[in-house]
Structure 1
Amino acid sequence: MNDAQPASRSALREVRESLRGKRGVLVLLGLWSLVEALPAFLGGLLVTHAVDAGFAVDRPLAGLAWLLLLGITVFVGAWGTREVYPRLAAIVEPFRDDLLRRVVRGALARSASGEHLGDDASGVARLTQQVEIAREAYAGLLMVVRGFVFTVGGALLGMLWLDSLLLVLVLPPLAVGLVFFFLFVGRMKDRQRELIMADERLAEGASTAAGGLRDIVAFGAEGRAADALGRRVDEQALAGARLASIGTARFCAVAIGGWTPLLMVIAAAPWLLRNGATPGTVMGALVYITQALLPALQTLIQGLGGSGIRLSVALQRINETSGSHTSCPALLSGPKSARLPDGYGVVLRNITFGYGEHAVPVIRGLDLEIPQDDHLAIVGPSGIGKSTLAGLVSGLIEPMRGDIWLGGVLLKRLDPHLVAQRRVLIPQEAYIFSGTVEENLGYLRPEASRAEMEATVEALGLHPLMERLGGYRALVRPSELSAGERQQIALARAHLSAARLVILDEATCHMDPVAEALAEEAFAHRPGSLVVIAHRVSSALRARRILVLDGTRAELGGHEELLVSSPLYRDLVGHWRVGNTAEPG
């Protein structure tokens, strides 16, 4: 069995999953599709009446009236088409968003675990190209299949209304044409997959060559690099030519299923007339074939042979590269515990982590305990591993060696949803989405009451921001907020959440010292543990304990203790105070 068959089943399963729970949208889509298909159903009937009750009996005005009515139905059908697109978008856009989440999770998981670090270019190609290919192909597939069903259904119903003998001439070649096309679908999928793989190899090769251009020139390897990249260009061109060659099967299918019925009706016209058909009936049948059945068949075959094949192959490729990485590795390995941890204390034992198997570890042999209700500040030079440690503590990345426990349970054994209930990580660049202020604040705890939101706003001193935005019901546009305002909203979201372990990874760096102090004090008085990646000495002074990272070892203690024992901490405190005169002494 070739890869096309499982890929086909996968694509069909993905389509069915995307349609699940969208009954209301599908009903509206079907109703507007009926309106859109009105010209396909009435076209032949109205032409028949225009001929038989108008032009054939020397009543041109009556014939023109029937044709005018046909023109009106075209405008009605166009109205239906206009209303189809919003319903289609309501199905397609969530499908695209799901694919993006899947690819991003897979890319983050591979990056965090150090796998396939040389495959960044093809990962970008998958994210930016293949997801868009799948989105456009899915939309095209829904359009052409829906259009074919309603248009051809309307045309066949109209021909049945005119004369049942017409179906004898039309249905057999139509069925043969469709069967002929589907016989070649498997080979088309294989050729489309070859082209996508060639695109990925070309993107990877071009990125590698561009990144190593200086070394290539230094070693005089321009010719070898050009040859290697040229071979990938040739492979892509060959794959495109092979796909185009198999595409001729589509033209044959259209000829059999669309043009043959037209020829058969023309050839059988005398026989139809002898069996009771009128000239208008023959004209109406020709209208149904040329204006409805033939265009719908062409669109279907081109769509399935193009959009359908691309969708199937793109989904298969996306599943191959991200299906096994639907979450971060730290949350994947081993059986998952369905039990919520009893507590939220964190224990790290002999933790080592580096970005790549052969890279120098950023963190080496670290032991650390963060008990419940602790307030820990992590300090150190830029790039020393503070954010990496935040990712390890939160479970977003998995250590190369060592173990991490959350509430007495191995972090990698916990279900990610359970971990999310216990901790929240706010990064330096806060994520705010388009929606109301209330929706942004309650994102991690939708059931929060207005009184609880008001208490959070009060604790963080956000009343001036709330007044500027226009209250809880006001629409938030992230591009119109400053970086500091986005951080304030993200902090309020975390403060309002049920998580009892809060990690602030320079989450207040765009806020002034007064606002930062207010935010950290609010979290310190909130039930739970607080871990702060500090960028001001005041954050360290407010913490109960301070962890100093210097790249070779870690020192843990209080402010006064570290001033004596850690030269690096003394240097950092001096640098902070000199660089920011607003810092307290």
Structure 2
Amino acid sequence: MRRELRYGAAAVRNRSAVQLTLWSVPEILPTALYGIAVARATDSFLAGNAGQGIAWLGGLVATACLGSAGSHQVYGRLGELVEPVRDDLVRRVVRGALRTGDEASVARVNRQVEIVRDTFAGLVLVIRNFAVTLVGVLAGLLSLAPVIAAFVVPPFLLGFAASLAVLGLAADRVRASLRADEELATAATMTFGGVRDITATGAEEFSERLVARPIEAQATAERELAKIAALRTLCFAVGGWAPLLILLAVGPWLLGRGVTTGTLLGGLTYVLIGLQPALSTIMSALGDSGLRYVVTLGRILDTDLPDEAKRAPTNRRRSGYEVQLRGLTFAYGPGAEPVLDRLDLTVAEGEHLAVVGPSGIGKSTLAGLVCGLLRPTSGRVLLGGAAPADLTTDVLADTRVLIPQEAYVFTGTVLDNLVYLLPDATVGEVESAVRAVGIERLVDRLGGLRAEVKPDELSAGERQQLALVRAYLSPAPLVVLDEATCFLDPEAERRAEEAFAARGGTLIVIAHRISSALRARQVLVLDGNQATLGTHPTLQHTSPLYRELLGHWQPQKPQTPIPPRRPSRPQPASWRRPADRV
């Protein structure tokens, strides 16, 4: 939101904005004078001086004509202020379309740019009118009776400040409501489309649970929006009605201390005709047009960001990437036993977690859920407070990186494979990552960073090593290694895991060997659809399964190995003892 507000502030720093401000000055005069004119005219009529009262009202009409002339000039200056903004946005959209080939650019030019222009113009007018009214009313109240201003202005400013504070909260609630609507539409469409299959397989209860979560989320979002509406009403009551009630309450006290009836009526006029409508208008505009302006302008500015601005540097990790699992349940079908059942887990930023358990127990399923590749049957997965499905592809890619057991390597140079997730990485950064993960010999054997890679000529372990360096270079602060070192020997695995632990950010290791658990700060033991979290010493005493897994693992004893076809390659998994697997 700050970026969009800075853009709007920069747009009004030109000659047209200065002229618009100057032409607003004539409008201040009638705003400041109408309370005084009403007060003086009332006192004149009460004193029997009808001519003087009529003269005051005539003067008010004359100043209103002067103010209308200023308003006429304001609209001319508004066009000169807004049209350059539209031209700049069109240039940004076209520039982004030429760079990315995005077909959505037509919609941005035809609709989104016009939305920003219209809302920007409306906001400029509303804010200008509010400023004119506020200055005029303050000037009039101080000229009429400063004591009345002391009772009126503070509650008005308090209500206005509270409405600004609620505005940011309202924007968050609207975004949450939109996400809930999308989730509900997706779940409902999927359920309605499979009604026949659901009925045939007796999966009504499963479908009901599937749709119940987004329904509840959508209802919760609407309730939160209703609370925001109530808060806005409260803010208006404080800023708009409280000054009027206070002035009526202290009226007898003021009259007893020399304030005339006309002066009191003039103060009420300032509140009813000036402050109340101004506060209502600006609250409505900021809550409606302001939100549309921020959201739509943000979409346009995102398309114009240069590529290097969209990528985080290697030495900068994205903040807000805590992993939270809340009541997480996942099953591979309506009648299937849950692989994970109501799992609650928090992986703090910077944590090193190992996940262990028997083969097929759901470790890789958990990795897929954390990374957003699978959707939970029920419960929630949150990355930095947001569900993976709610994050854009770019944000999700910059948040987490997953290396599966079968690593992907493509035809191209070694360097191309390593910098795939950070194309602007320097050669020095790549060489540092190669040394950290420990694949210098592999890179040398392949012919260096500029050598061509033929994936079918690489062993599974060599592909894993290249993928590990690729993940190490990624800007993502959350790394999930799903048995990503299963084809490496224990020493190579140790070096790679220690490199990621020292890299910064969060590391989740789906363990292939129990030695990965010994290196982690926290260990999650999956046992059926149950889970136990603790440290290595604690789990030795509290988890029978962990003790069993630990007992199956013994350090490798020297033995005569079967000569590999390529001495420099890591030994395949079939050459290791079965007891070494978790």
Length-normalised TM-score, structure 1: 0.45
Give the TM-score, by structure 2 length: 0.45
